[in-house]
Chain A
Amino acid sequence: MIIRKLEAMIRAADPYPIEIRKTAITAFFPYAVLQEQNGRHEALDAFLRVQNAARPYYFMEPWVEPFVATLLNEEGPISAKRAATLTSPHLPWRYFANGEHLVPLWAAAVLAVPYTDKTGQIIADTLLKIAACSPLLPHIPSGMWLWLNKRPSLPPDCTERRWGSAQGVVQTIRALGDVEALTSYLLLVWSEWDYIYGLEEMSASIREDLGGIWMGHHREDLLRRLDYILGQLDRGLEYLRQSKPSLNEEDIQRMKAEYGQLKEVLLEVAREATGTLVREYHIPATLFGLLTPADRCGIPLEIHVCDPPPISLIACLTQPLPLPSILREFTAQFIRDPQLPTAVLGLLHRCCFNG
């Protein structure tokens, strides 16, 4: 009967009735989890859907904390951890009295749950939600940020995207010193258009962490994502209002400017890296003159510094193929090579310009 009532609320698609009944829905939470642990999914499914239907206004009551702590207990069954993981985006992390103790438990629990696209989405959503809460941010284990390298997505209507882009969050991830995690994080918060709260810190991060000739492929991924978002923003107010009815033209212009600024910073860093390459490895600028501007931005500069190149690649380079394609293929194979390939540089130079 309760499940039927929850489903009726979901069908009504009106957050207000759910909001005023949130105490009762919260009280149903442990029973739904118990049912889930016993293999009956209807209760928890209805519970999660009704909460999703009420987002972003709804979250559970803070007094669920002791029960959540029980679910996240390290010695608890995996089914309990899975249930806790699924419900974690709806928990009032900000209002927990002992949230700093719960966050590591949550991290351990979600890492124990098998990764799927759905759970990845939920975990990423929760991670940003926790990160947006300043007192809890320092307690997020570094392993959770490295977990972002799995490249999870976010729900389309995720409201934590903007809060998760705050300056403090960016600083925390930069402090890890892991460029891969930083890129994954930026790709996550830029997954859809939204306001950016940590713009200056992101710009600084791009300049300082994603500069240099080694970071070309990161920049390529990020530029591609920024192009996608700018393309979305170019589709006009009416289109964007389908997902955010309160949006106005001023907001769009502001977001365009912010994303445009990030792209400009990325391009600037890429240009500096190209200059470094030309200067230090004597690759004529004319090489890049053959490329279109878009190709130029996307060139992974590590192509020039890989060692040793496979025979097939050398053979490939001698063929009259379109240069960008060759370069990209090369990058795909040697993108992770840390060695400085002076010999390959010479070979490349010979093949491209003298051979």
Chain B
Amino acid sequence: MPCPCQSDTPVLTWITQAGLFSAVTSAFVIQVQPGLQPDPNEETAALLRVLIYKTDNTTFGGDVPTVPQWSGPPRSIVQVQAMLYASFTATLLSAFLAMLGKQWLNRYGSTDMRGTVIERSQNRQRKLNGIVTWYFEHVMEALPLMLQAALLLLGCALCQYLWEIDLTVASVILAVTSFGLAFYFFVVAAGAASRSCPYQTPGSRVLRSVVSTVPQAFEYALEHSTAISILRSDLTCCQPSTSINNFVYSALAILCASPLVLLILTIDAIRLGLAMVNLIVTFARRAYIQLFGAPSTPTRGSDQQTTSMHLQCVSWILRTSQDKTVHLSTLESLATMVQLDDLDPAIVADCCDIFIGCVKVVDRTAMVSQGLEPLATVSATCLLLTFSYLSVMDPSSDILGDVRHRYVMAFGPWTDTRSLPFPYTIRAIEGIIYPDQDEQWLDLGDYKPSSDEHFITAHALTKLAWSEYKSIEYHGKKVPAWILRFAFHSLSMNPLPSTSVVANCLSIIAIDLDCNIEVSSAGTTTTDGRCVQVQ
């Protein structure tokens, strides 16, 4: 998962902007502040008028000057000052939060000096997970929002303040503020309408979410509407030429027919209401799960959490680093993982890209670039592992098709890959990419794979066999022939490969024979809990 705050530059900008805003706002606050208190000059002038009146009571004609009792500031001034203070405090708060954010980011960005690379990477991933879990990104995105709100409040306050003083000046301010507001709404709407629009704001995301979910509720209600279904069936029965008239007549007839119509419409209204309630409940449930985790999910073991964190680390490193040495060590770590729970599908594509980057094609012959043999080997292994895993867990994933496409674009079906130094793995990969070509295991000759290569290939192909068995429905469920040939090839080795490889090969056969077998991320078991027995 990408880090939302890979740089603290925006935070520094926000601090600067917040300071500038607060300075500007404070100037207006100071300007308006006297309006909140009794004006001593005015009181002095009143007293002077009373004094003059005592001396000469004809000075003011019929008017008798009095000393006014101060009854509080004018309402408009209070409103203006409230808005100005709100703007001021918002800018100060955003500046405060920006400083805190800078501090948080400094802590996040600090490098651990102890532990192995994996431990430090896991620590970094833990902090990243915390950032995601606690909506750090949203909190930081709230800072510019607060500044924008402060600016809006300042504009409104200025308009109201100047409206009382001079209408012309106030109109100018009002026009500019209105234009800015309209522009902002346009930007939000444009960002919500198109994901490719560069004017993305937090408001755009919220608007998009609302726009996408509310119509679904209406569609649901419409689909289940009794009245509409009656109308629709009636419309279907009509001839095309008269369909519209018949539709209108039918609608009127239904509306005017009897109390039954009212009952139907009431039911529809209730359904619509239920759909909306359902939508709200779903939304609330999602929010609850986001905040506090899935309530019904049992607490996962620490091993599983570690595995999950490990995979997230791998994903992050592969995405952010371009260093081949880092890739090598990361993929070596990935290759040792038997369980791939919570695998980020993007890892499959990353492995594919790294593998493709290690192999060059010369005269339709694939060969590993000099010095990249270890990386090519381990990336091919990881590609096989992750691809097979993903095909079990999410056979409809777009990543699978994408990886196939990338591989075909890089090598094509006519490229000779026999010279690559990991024949078993590459044949398994090509079996996945080109499932119709089941000759992969014929030209291996006397090649003996290493125990690791053999184990990983068998492990991956068992998963793939299960996945394909579940998906293929041609003349009954079947495991692809090329995977069964792998099982045959492995079982006919002399001496026999390791017990785990034999167990996996027998599992592949058992799957095709429709034995009661379940394949999970943990391995292959029978439905009654026993593993495939190897005598």
Q: Which residues of A contact B (CB under 8 A)?
A: 1-2, 5-6, 20-21, 23-31, 34-35, 40, 61, 63-64, 66-67, 70
Of the candidates B476, B488, B532, the one whose C-beta lies within 8 Å of that of A30 is B488
Measured in the bound complex, the distance between the Cα atoms of B487 and A29 in whole Å is: 10
A213 to B487 alpha-carbon distance, docked (Å): 61
**Contact partner, A23, options B441, B494, B512, B514, Cβ 8 Å:** B512
Check if A23 sits within 8 Å of B484, measured CB to CB. Answer: yes
Distance in angstroms from B518 CB to nearest chain A CB is 13
Stretch from B18-26, B235-243, B314-322, B503-511 that touches the partner: B503-511
User: Which B466-486 residues have a C-beta within 8 angstroms of A?
Assistant: 475-476, 478-479, 481, 484-485
Residue of B whose beta carbon sits closest to that of A64 = B488
A20 touches B488 (CB 8 A): no
Q: Say whether B442 faces chain A, with CB atoms less than 8 Å apart.
A: yes
Contacts of A2 in B (CB 8 A): 506, 509-510, 513, 515
A34 to B442, CA, bound (A): 21
Q: Could you jot down 21 A-B contacts, CB within 8 Å? A: A1-B532, A5-B513, A6-B513, A20-B478, A21-B514, A23-B481, A23-B512, A24-B479, A24-B484, A24-B512, A26-B488, A27-B484, A27-B485, A27-B505, A30-B488, A31-B506, A34-B491, A61-B485, A63-B485, A70-B492, A70-B494
In contact, A5 and B510 (Cβ under 8 angstroms): yes
B297 interface residue per 8 A CB criterion: no
Closest to A29 in B: B488
A5→B492 contact, CB < 8 A: no
Chain B residues near A28 (CB, 8 Å)? 491, 506, 509
- Minimum CB–CB distance from A276 to chain B (whole Å) comes to 60
* Most B CB within 10 A of own CB, among A29, A67, A70: A67
Which residue of chain B has the shortest Cβ distance to A33 in the bound complex? B492
Contact with A along B313-351 (1 / 0, CB 8 A): 000000000000000000000000000000000000000
B37 within 8 A of A: no
Q: How far is the CB of A316 from chain B (nearest CB, A)?
A: 63
Kindly list chain B residues whose C-beta atoms are within 8 Å of the C-beta of A5: 510, 513-515
Given contacts A25-B513, A63-B441, A70-B492, 8 further A-B contacts (CB under 8 A): A1-B533, A2-B515, A24-B479, A24-B509, A24-B513, A27-B509, A28-B491, A35-B535
Please, how many angstroms separate the alpha-carbon atoms of A28 and B535 in the complex? 14
- Is the CB of B526 closer than 8 A to any CB of chain A? yes
A-B pairs, 6 with minimum CB distance: A30-B492, A24-B512, A27-B488, A67-B492, A30-B491, A27-B484
A175 to chain B, nearest CB (A): 36
- Residues of chain A within 8 A (CB-CB) of B487 are 27
Most buried by B among A5, A23, A27: A27
**Across the interface, which residues of A come within 8 angstroms of B508, CB to CB?**
24, 27
Name which residue of chain A comes closest to B444, CB basis. A66
Q: Which residues of B contact A61 (CB under 8 A)?
A: 485
Q: Which residues of B contact A1 (CB under 8 A)?
A: 510, 515, 526, 532-533
Name the residue on B nearest A6 (C-beta). B513
**Closest approach, in angstroms, between the C-beta of A21 and any C-beta of chain B?**
6
Chain A residue numbers with a CB within 8 Å of B512 are 21, 23-24, 27
Whether B113 is near chain A, meaning CB under 8 Å from some CB there, is no
Contacts of B505 in A (CB 8 A): 27, 31
Docked pose: A22 CA to B475 CA in angstroms = 13
In the assembled complex, which residues on chain A have CB atoms less than 8 Å from the CB atom of B515?
1-2, 5
- Please name all residues of chain A whose beta carbon is closer than 8 Å to the beta carbon of B510 when the two chains form the complex: 1-2, 5
Q: Which residues of A contact B479 (CB under 8 A)?
A: 24
Any A CB within 8 A of the CB of B496: yes
Whether the pair A27, B526 counts as a contact (CB closer than 8 A) is: no
State the Cβ distance, B533 to closest chain A Cβ, in Å. Answer: 7
| Residue in A21, A31, A70 whose beta carbon sits within 8 Å of that of B491 in the complex | A31
Q: Give B419-450 as 1s and 0s: 1 = Cβ < 8 Å from A's Cβ atoms.
A: 00000000000000000000001100000000
CB neighbours (8 Å) of B476 from chain A are: 20
Q: Which of A5, A21, A24, A63 has the most chain B CB atoms inside 10 A of its CB?
A: A24
Q: Give the complex CA separation of A61 and B494 in angstroms.
A: 20
Smallest Cβ-Cβ distance to A42: which chain B residue: B535
Smallest beta-carbon distance A81→chain B, Å: 15
Q: Which residues of A contact B514 (CB under 8 A)?
A: 5, 21
Question: Chain B contacts of A35 at CB under 8 A?
Answer: 535
Say which residue of A21, A25, A63, A67 sits within 8 Å of B442 (CB atoms): A63
- Shortest A34–chain B CB gap in Å is 7
